[in-house]
Every structure is written in C-alpha cells, then in structure tokens.
Structure 1
Amino acid sequence: MADQTFTTVDWTKLPVPEDDGAARHLVGARVPDVALPSSAGGDLELAKLAGRTVLFAYPMTGTPGVALPDGWDAIPGARGCTPHACAFRDLHADLGAAGAAHVFGISTQTLAEQQATVARLHLPFPLLSDVALALANALKMPAMQVDGKTMLRRLALIIDAGVIAHVFYPIFPPDRNAGDVLAWLEDNPR
C-alpha cells in the first residue's frame, strides 16, 4: 500500500503550474532513437514501438522514510507524482481498451528507484529512467532544477508509431491526468 503522505494531497493548498509554452514544440515531433532503461528489464526505445503509446513524465516519486526536497510543495506542479502514477495504474485496463498499446511513466530517477516505485505502487506498466537526460535533452522536454538535480516537469504524451500526436501540459492536479488521457483516447481513436 502506498504511503499516505504521498497519496493524500490537498490540491487546493498547492500552487497551480501555468503554461509556459515549454511543450508547444512537441506536437508532431518524431521521438528520437534513444534507449532508456526500463524497470521491466533491458532498454526500451520509444521510437521503435508500433501503435499508440502513452508516456507520462513526472519529477520524482517520493520514497517512504525519505524527506522530499526542501520547498517541494512550493514548486508549481511538483507535488503529486505518486497519485499521478496510481491514477494511470487504476485506469491501465481502460487505457488499453481505448487504444493505448503501451503505457510508461518516465522521470530522471535511477533505474533502481523506478523499480522500487513499480513494486511499491503495484504498477502494471514499466517506468523508464532518463537519469542521463537522453530523451529529455533530445526532445527539449520541460525540466526544472531542484537541489542540483534536473527533473522533468509533469506532462503526458500520446505517441503514434514514433510521432508525438498530443501533449498534456501543464498537468494539475496530477491525479486527474490519466482520466484526461483516457477521454482523449476515446475521442481520438486511431
């Protein structure tokens, strides 16, 4: 069971991220040939996947017993990574039924951290590690610096056979993003 500290969030007390335009260039972009470590084992190349892929990015999932970075709740859009992932977990079957051949989460956390998150949250999909910033830099994904670390800003991509068809950015509150993605998939079948 997920730690209540990370899953129970009062969204009304958090700053809402604004659209800074940092993701506008992504629609229509081809996903680069970048191999990313997967919590399922081995490396995965999003550019080579057939069908429709949902990729949601988040800054970092919290770890029970480890404090979040100082000022975390004051960063617009930072808080809510665990509820974000859990919402995709809870709607995973529905996303597949609506046409998502693949669902992945991605952050700049290490592969070991991603594997621990998959186990702790019982995720039915892999998490990808972009600790080397290979995909983030190649796509110029929105990012932020926190405690000297580069973290992805929260967004979700719909990728059709290697091309980004739709972008959800900014995302708030994070726990509703999976439902928004599901609605978009249902309204935009392939």
Structure 2
Amino acid sequence: MTDFANLPDGLEPPQDDGAARHLEGRSLPHVSLASTAGGTVDLGALPGLCVLYCYPLTGRPGTSLPGGWNEIPGARGCTPQACAFRDLHKEFVRRGVAHLFGISTQTTAWQKEAAERLHLPFALLSDSSLVLQDMLDLPVMDVDGEALLKRLTMISRDGRIEKVFYPVFPPDRNADEVIAWRDTHS
C-alpha cells in the first residue's frame, strides 16, 4: 500500500512554465462547483479573503496511483498539502481568511472520501467538467489521457486574485507559505 501522507525522497520539483502568470489581477469567474459540504460554491460570489488550492488528485487507500505518479514533477503530495491546510486552518481563520477550499478535477464522491478520511475542516470543490480550468486557463497535466490540475494556490479578495503560488513545491509547505505571505500583506 502507498503511504499518501508522506512525500518520498527524491521527488523532482516542477519547473515554472509560466502557465499561471496571467492569473494575478483576474476576477474569479461566477462558476458553481460541487462541494463536499453539499450543494455548490460560486467562486465569483465569495466575499472577503479566500484561499483556493488546486491539486491533481488525492490517493485513496487500496487504490493505485496512476503509473509513474512519483516521476511526474509536481504530481505527488496532495494528501500532505491538504493535511497542512487542515493543521493550519485555525491560523487562516485567525488571519481573516473567510473561505478555504481545495479544488481538483476529481468527482465530489471521490473528494468526499478524502475529506472525511483526512478530517478536513473545509470543503473540497470538484471541477470534474473542467469549467473553472477553462474559464481561468488553469495549468493542467495530462496523466493517462486525463486532464488534472497542476498544483497552484490562489489568494483572492472579494473575487479578485491577489496572489498565485505556482509551482508549489514541496506541497506540504504550501500552507506555511500562504500564511507567511498573508502576514506581510494585510
């Protein structure tokens, strides 16, 4: 069984291919994404400070990861990233973050299992139809013929993207990076 909670040694970091440079300053689109908390979330209607972290996919115990997953730069680490955001959730709230969501192209049913197993205090949102990806031209990787979001984190205020972290590596330190940025950009 694969240990999803820990990053293996020797992972190749992703390179900045420039695929997210266009995002800062853009508005989040009015798109409703299915939520593991039930219902949908309209990203363009979110007031206040919002942190959205995009990730390729979460592994599931008893299910194999795609072939060569560890060799794809930036692919591995979704569970450690989610757990870091979970562990620092109260710090985000204390710093005025009104909304924190993880986003992937996985179905809500798949995400719900991960959210429950990992005891996430925030919802995961599904862009399984790639509507958000298309509207923002989010960077993707092709894995076994499936488009998966590349790992990136956006900070928005009242629907406008203020900061983008891309590429994100190592993923288990991303939540700390976001907090550090927030501390210097009140």
Q: TM-score range with shorter-chain normalisation?
A: over 0.9
Residue type of the partner of 1:54? V
Distance 1:117 1:161 in 2: 28
Query: 2:140–2:147: 8 Å Cα contact kept in structure 1?
Result: yes
Distance in structure 2 (CA, Å) of the matches to 1:88 and 1:162: 21
Q: 2:111 aligns with which of 114, 118, 121?
A: 114
Q: Is 2:134 aligned against 1:134?
A: no
Determine helix, strand or coil for the equivalent of 2:26. Answer: coil
Q: Which runs of 5+ in 1 are unaligned?
A: none
1:91 maps onto 2:100 in alignment: no
Counterpart in the other structure of 1:13: 10
Query: Which residue does 2:29 correspond to in 1?
Result: 32
CA contact (8 A) 1:53 1:101 kept: yes
SS at match of 1:165: strand
The number of aligned residues is 186
What are the residue-to-residue correspondences of 1:140-179 with 2, within 5 Å? 140-179=137-176
- Which residue does 2:102 correspond to in 1? 105
- Give the 3-state SS of the residue equivalent to 1:103 in structure 2: strand
Equivalents in 1 of 2:111, 2:183: separation in Å? 29
SS in 2 for 1:9: coil
Query: How far has the Cα of 1:96 moved from its partner?
Result: 1.1
Matched, 1:78 2:63: no
TM-fit CA distance, 1:4: 6.9
Identity of aligned residues (%): 54
Hey, what's the Cα distance between the residues in 1 that align with 2:155 and 2:137? 16
User: Secondary structure of the residue that 2:18 maps to in structure 1?
Assistant: coil
Conserved 8 A contact 1:99-1:185: no
Name stretches of at least 5 consecutive residues in structure 2 with no aligned partner.
none
After superposition, the C-alpha distances for 1:133-167 in whole angstroms (9 at most, x for unaligned) are 01011000010110111100000000111110000
Give the 3-state SS of the residue equivalent to 1:25 in structure 2: coil
The code of the aligned residue for 1:41 comes to G
For the Cα contact (< 8 Å) 2:54–2:103, is it kept in 1?
yes
Q: Distance in 1 between matches of 2:166 and 2:93?
A: 22
Deviation by residue 1:15-44 (Cα, 9 ceiling, x = unmatched): 110100000000001111101000000010
User: What SS is found at the alignment partner of 2:22?
Assistant: helix
* More helix by percentage: 1
Are the counterparts in 1 of residues 2 and 61 from structure 2 also a CA contact under 8 Å? no
Find the aligned partners of 2:130 and 2:10 in 1 and give their Cα distance: 31
Instruction: With the length of structure 2 as denominator, give the TM-score of the two structures.
Output: 0.98
Give the AA of the match of 2:57: M
Q: Distance in 2 between matches of 1:83 and 1:145?
A: 22
Give the superposition deviation at 1:99: 1.8
